[in-house]
Amino acid sequence: MNRLFQSLLLFFTLFILFSGTTLAGDGTKAINPIIWADVPDPAMVRVGDTYYMSSTTMHMSPGLPIMKSKDLVNWKLVSYAYDTLADNEKLRLENGNNAYGAGSWASSIRYHNGLFYVSTFSATSGKTHVYTTDNIEKGEWTVKCFEPVLHDHSLFFDEDGRVYMIYGAGDIRIAELTEDVSGLKENGINKVIIPNASRVASEKVGLPAEGTHIFKHNGYYYIFNITWPRNDMRTVIIHRAKKITGPYEGKVALRDRGIAQGSIIDTPQGEWYAYMFRDYGSVGRIPYLMPMKWENDWPVLGIDGVVPDTLDINTEDQLNASGIVASDEFNRMPDDDPLPLYWQWNHNPDNRYWSLSDSPGYLRLISGRIDNSILQVRNTLTQRTFGPVSAASTFVEVNGMKDGDYAGMIALQKKFGFVGVKKENSQFSIVMINGEEEEPIEVASIPLKQNGVHLKIECDFTERRDKATFFYSLDGLKWEPIGNTLQMSYTLPHFMGYRFGLTYYSTKETGGYTDFDYYRIEDQITNN
């Protein structure tokens, strides 16, 4: 049985397996989390019967993903607001610099007078960014940037034509913008409107109020924030006022498993829901949906103060993460997009050093510089991991590698795990590197006597086990474990759920290359 036939057989088996995945417990009702993958800081807007959600991917490029849904449960990627956020040493991973834990953060999404607005802010660029398009799925995006950086802002178009951003941490502020949203309005409103917003939750604050969302309904302005009282959990607080500048009164809206940060949205039928995220270990921050009702002009979130696991929303199949991740055989027709939306580069790519045409049917990564840390490698191509369990595999060809080169797969976070091929003294070996400690350790090395090898990483996020295991196969059928188990950990320096990544780098000389034949995902692992 040749490798091509084996690969096709395996691909169709996995395709049938994964495409049939459903998480709806009884086949009709949706369940939480609505996406078991890293989709933090959700912001949402409804246009007619269609919902659009933006989220945070920080140092990834392209960035600021846009997802689409018809039912608030099943979401698919449709666009990114930008290809690259900015061009500097941090985003190019140069001279030891990086933008891990930075890049762009919590976004705001609006639809106003026929235009979509998606705004964000970035300490890496030092600016507030506003992206606009008249076609959020297929259109071109334009950008306007200005100073200062407005932290965790929420863009708001008021009924009188004035435009604001509500933002801040601890003290919540208002800044009036120009009508074209290109910067702060000269002599416009700029002041604190809710001092020490966390006070309504506790006088003992760990995380000051932030993550602002503003919403207007029935004559009230509602400002949603999160806070984290000491020795407690992430908590949702809401303030309301009759005027946008206040005075505001506030209350605790939700304290359940740390599910927090987001806002509310209505359906065309007049139902109301709130959307938030939950920290869930190394898989990242995963979005939850909950019913909402109005009582005395206050939003009441969840059911008796709890976010339900099952939602009263009919759905035959729930996509889970399959609307934002996918397998890829790297076969491209001339008119195809080079990389589907599921893919993001770790930091800004250098487009000179990757190709899908040099060897048709393969992703080629080329060495353009020397790197001594796998976390500083520029052209690492990534997709999200997902829960409760997930696996990704590939085949890497090694004929183009040079001495000192590494090619393979990474479970990407600060505490990483790598399985791949190393070339040293003209000899190839399959290696597993554990990066839990400050100094990564090569814990296994096996001689490789053929021109390539299949590689796989399996992740178990069930009940926050957060275990990653690593495998290789010489024929694509029989998988052998290699190395040890990586205890995954969500670290603040990276501030992102684990990613599967395809990577290639040189430690001695440039000019080598490697070809990846496929990337395949599964929602099963061998030890589950």
Q: What is the pLDDT of residues 441-494, one digit of tens each?
A: 999 999 999 999 999 999 999 999 999 999 999 999 999 999 999 999 999 999
Conformational region of residue 234, where left means phi above 0, alpha means psi within -120 to 50, and beta covers everything else: beta
**Residue 335: pLDDT band with limits 50, 70, 90:** confident
Strand, helix or coil at 273? Answer: strand
**CB distance 422 to 100 below 8 Å:** no
pLDDT, tens only, 140-178 = 999 999 999 999 999 999 999 999 999 999 999 999 999
Closest C-alpha to 365, from 165, 513, 498, 174:
513
Q: How far apart are the first and last CA of the chain?
A: 29
Based on DSSP, count helices (H) and strands (E) in the chain, helices before strands: 2, 38
Q: What is the pLDDT of residue 223?
A: 98
User: Does 20 score more than 50 pLDDT?
Assistant: no
Confidence (pLDDT) at 316: 76
The 10s digit of each residue's pLDDT in 403-424 is: 999 999 999 999 999 999 999 9
Taken in order of first residue, the domains within the chain and their CATH numbers are 40-305 (2.115.10.20), 344-522 (2.60.120.200)
Bridge-based pairing of strands 389-397 and 513-522 is: antiparallel
- How many other C-beta atoms are found inside a 10 Å radius of the C-beta of residue 179? 10
**Type and span of the H or E element at 12:** helix 3-19
Please name the residues in contact with 253: beta carbons below 8 A apart, sequence gap of 6 or more. 224, 236, 237, 238, 298, 299, 300, 301
pTM: 0.93
Which residue in the block uniquely carries the two structure tokens 């790297």? 330
Find the radius of gyration of the CA atoms of the chain. Answer: 24
**3-class secondary structure, 8:** helix
109 bridge partner residues: 118
Which amino acid is it at 252?
Answer: V
Closest by CA position to 470, among listed 484, 450, 454: 484
Which tens digits make up the pLDDT trace of 100-110? 999 999 999 99
pLDDT tops 60 at residue 18: no
Average pLDDT over residues 370-393: 97
Distance CA 341, CA 363 (A): 16
Burial class of residue 356, CB neighbours in 10 A (0-12, 13-18, 19+): middle
Burial of 304 (0-12, 13-18, 19+ CB in 10 A): exposed
Is 288 in contact with 40 (CB distance < 8 Å)? no
pLDDT at 11: 41
Q: Is the pLDDT of residue 22 over 70?
A: no
Q: Is the peptide bond before 308 cis (omega within 30 degrees of 0)?
A: no
Count of residues making up the chain: 528
**Token output for 44:** 């949402």
Q: How far apart are CA 241 and CA 382, in angstroms?
A: 44
Residue 136's nearest CA partner among 157, 118, 156, 113 is: 118
Cross-sheet strand order for the sheet of 499-506: 60-61, 344-346, 381-384, 499-506, 405-412, 416-424, 427-435, 441-447
Instruction: Determine phi and psi for 108, rounding to 5 degrees.
Output: -130, 140
- Structure tokens belonging to residue 87: 């061009």
C-alpha angle with apex 355: 352 to 359, nearest 5 degrees?
135
CB of 364 closer than 8 Å to CB of 351: no
- Mapped onto helix, strand or coil, the DSSP state of residue 485 is coil
- Greatest C-alpha distance within the chain: 75
pLDDT band with cut points at 50, 70 and 90 for residue 16: very low
For the segment 62-77, the average pLDDT, to the nearest whole number, is 97
The two tokens of residue 98 are 């990086």
